[in-house]
């Protein structure tokens, strides 16, 4: 997560519900974290995400 991202401080569950996504994995400080619903997103986290929305151009 970049500094100032609206996702910082949100839980995995909040993000998944609000953005219709599924977060599978979080990379934090060189570690892999399974994305449990109560995990809070921190600055510099890298998320592995699947979106349920289809974007058409």
The H or E element spanning position 40 is none
How confident is the model at residue 1, as a pLDDT? 77
How confident is the model at residue 31, as a pLDDT? 97
**pTM of the complete model:** 0.85
How confident is the model at residue 7, as a pLDDT? 95
Tens digits of per-residue pLDDT, 11-57?
Answer: 999 999 999 899 999 999 999 999 999 999 999 999 999 987 776 76
Query: What is the full DSSP assignment across 19-36?
Result: HTEEEEEEEETTEEEE--
Residue-range domain boundaries for the chain: 12-51
Residue with tokens 């399974």: 34
């Amino acid at each position: 997560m970049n500094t100032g991202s609206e996702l910082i401080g949100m839980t995995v569950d909040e993000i998944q519900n609000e953005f219709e996504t599924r977060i599978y994995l979080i990379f934090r400080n060189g570690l892999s974290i399974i994305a449990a619903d109560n995990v809070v997103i921190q600055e510099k986290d890298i998320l592995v995400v699947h979106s349920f929305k289809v974007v058409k151009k």
